[in-house]
Structure 1
Amino acid sequence: MTSIESITLEAADPPAAEQFYKAAFDLGPDQVRLRASDAPTTGFRAYTLSLIVSQPANADALIGTALDAGATTLKPAKKGLWGYGGVVQAPDGAIWKVATSNKKNSGSASREVDEIVLLLGASDVGVTKRFYVEQGLKVGKSFGKYVEFKLPSSSIQLGLYGRNALAKDAGVPPEGTGSHRILIHGDAGSFTDPDGFVWEPASR
């Protein structure tokens, strides 16, 4: 069964980025690794990372610690048709959405994360979807320009969204050039997808 073990974010200052992710989201190298890179990159990097939580209070807690650690607000947390959440940008440039499908709190606030989701912005969702199916990934949900893959044993879930739609959801312009500044580590082998996202074998 295909799974994602972890991701590597490329940053100009990996130690500072590591401190940020620990302070902001309590994430360590089991989920997010860091490595140095000065690869040119401008604008939207065509991906977002989402932290899925159980209630609005948890989303507020994580967004609060992220802002305290140096993140900037792209979309303030608020209720919507789909639930509650907000979007921040880390100092290294990665975009993080913190969200819940629940609109009401059911308990005391915590910083517990239920799920991490990597959404890739595809230029042609149909083409990229077929590519990943050929690599052995199974589709869980698919409608319009959104695809969610079924990775039951994965610590990080994967989805596709149209690039422009993903940028709009993140609160940024869709334009961007250069490196994505992210590597995906999984058991599907080594390859580069149609949108330039690089996969490498998992370490274990």
Structure 2
Amino acid sequence: MNTTDTMTITSIDAITLEADDPQAAAAFYRDAFRLDSQVRTRPADSPTSGFRGYTLSLVASQPANVQALFGAAVAAGATVVKPTEKSLWGFGGVVQAPDGAIWNLASSAKKDAGPATREFEDIVLLLGVDDVAASKKFYTARGLSVAKGFGTYVDFATPASPIGLGLYKRRALAKSVALDAEGTGSHRLLIHSDGGTFTDPDGFDWAPSAR
């Protein structure tokens, strides 16, 4: 585990996703989610198989927006993992982008308050970890504070960050998006923040801000 830099993390400004076809992946994120600055792509240089150990979420204000984002993603080439539906927690669905990343599109609301748009309020990166307590300790030592947490889940307080961050037990995270937790190889994910360069206990790589 590389921890050569102990700068404090206050903001995640972007992520880089490794893809077999980075240009096509970038086009997908522009067309489906209108993400240009927050999601970067680059050529994949390491093998991967199965669940990559993380999910990305777009959190919208109402179900109609979730449905609009879901439809745009499928039209742009995403694969449906979980169709959109109501649940105890609101409304949502899950897709797999052409590069392999898993996206959870969700709203805590169960009723619409206006016309459908592809607007969303938050982007959240959820890392699937083997030991939630150990990972929580690792990240709080780097300056993050816990907004809420229970058992296998931790949500960090990142009010000024373009991308939010949370931790979830790996198996529970996979189950939440209807996937098997098994997976090997690269996460194919690089997280850009003001916290320097390091690798966390579960092999997630962090790098300086992409700005």
TM-score normalized with structure 2 length: 0.95
Q: In structure 2, the residue corresponding to 1:164 is in which secondary structure? A: helix
State how 1:1-204 maps to structure 2 within 5 Å: 2-28=10-36, 30-204=37-211
Contact kept, 8 Å, 2:14 with 2:210, in 1: the verdict is no
Q: In structure 1, the residue corresponding to 2:80 is in which secondary structure? A: strand
Write the distance in 1 (CA, Å) between the matches of 2:69 and 2:89: 19
Q: In structure 1, the residue corresponding to 2:103 is in which secondary structure? A: strand
Write the distance in 1 (CA, Å) between the matches of 2:164 and 2:172: 19
Q: In structure 1, the residue corresponding to 2:116 is in which secondary structure? A: coil
Write the distance in 1 (CA, Å) between the matches of 2:46 and 2:157: 32
Q: In structure 1, the residue corresponding to 2:10 is in which secondary structure? A: coil
Q: In structure 1, the residue corresponding to 2:52 is in which secondary structure? A: coil
Q: Deviations over 1:48-83 (max 9, x none)?
A: 000000000000000001001110111110000000
Shift of 1:102: 0.2
Shift of 1:188: 1.2
Shift of 1:189: 1.3
Alignment-mate amino acid for residue 27 of structure 1: L
Alignment-mate amino acid for residue 136 of structure 1: G
Residues 85 and 2 (structure 1), Cα distance of their counterparts in 2 relative to 1, 3 Å cut? same
Q: In structure 1, the residue corresponding to 2:140 is in which secondary structure? A: helix
Please list every run of 5 or more consecutive structure 1 residues that lacks an aligned counterpart in the other structure.
Answer: none
Shift of 1:44: 0.1
Q: In structure 2, the residue corresponding to 1:140 is in which secondary structure? A: strand
Please list every run of 5 or more consecutive structure 2 residues that lacks an aligned counterpart in the other structure.
Answer: 1-8
Write the distance in 1 (CA, Å) between the matches of 2:179 and 2:97: 14
Write the distance in 2 (CA, Å) between the matches of 1:32 and 1:190: 18
Aligned CA-pair RMSD: 0.8
Alignment-mate amino acid for residue 34 of structure 2: D
Alignment-mate amino acid for residue 24 of structure 1: A
Q: What percent of counterpart residues are identical?
A: 62
TM-score normalized with structure 1 length: 0.98
Q: In structure 1, the residue corresponding to 2:176 is in which secondary structure? A: helix
